[in-house]
């Protein structure tokens, strides 16, 4: 389930999501080898993304396999599109 109460997470974790979106299928391995980040920090970020419903898979070593949760990602995209449209409309009304 997508956690819409924490939309800041999408922005904060964007580098992980961007990297995952470039993969042709679910990622197997240690993302710490791919990104300049400590394993403990990466583990915390992956747990947050999984708790928010944006990634799926097993993120607990030794079996590591994860990918973007496509259905929830589409919901998040829609949420942010609506949010940014509302902000743009409010800014236009103030001018």
pLDDT digits 0-9 by tens, 31-82: 778 777 788 877 888 888 888 888 888 877 777 788 888 899 889 888 888 8
The CA-atom distances, in angstroms, between 73 and each of 21, 48, 77, 92 are 10, 14, 6, 28
Out of 3.90.1150.10, 1.10.10.10, 3.20.20.210, 1.20.200.10, select the CATH number for domain 8-94: 1.10.10.10
What does the domain layout of the chain look like in residue ranges? 8-94
pLDDT at 86: 76
The confidence band for 88, taking pLDDT boundaries of 50, 70 and 90, is low
pLDDT at 10: 54
What 3-state class would DSSP assign to 66? strand
Tell how strand 65-68 and strand 55-58 pair up: antiparallel
């Amino acid at each position: 389930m997508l956690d819409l109460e924490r939309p800041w997470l999408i922005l904060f974790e964007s580098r992980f999501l961007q990297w995952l979106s470039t993969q042709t299928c679910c990622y197997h391995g240690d993302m710490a080898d791919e990104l300049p980040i400590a394993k403990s920090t990466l583990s915390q970020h992956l747990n947050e993304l999984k708790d928010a419903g944006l990634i799926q898979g097993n993120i607990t070593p030794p079996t590591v396999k994860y990918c973007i949760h496509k259905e929830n990602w589409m919901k998040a995209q829609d949420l942010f599109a609506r949010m940014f449209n509302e902000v743009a409309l409010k800014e236009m009304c103030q001018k």
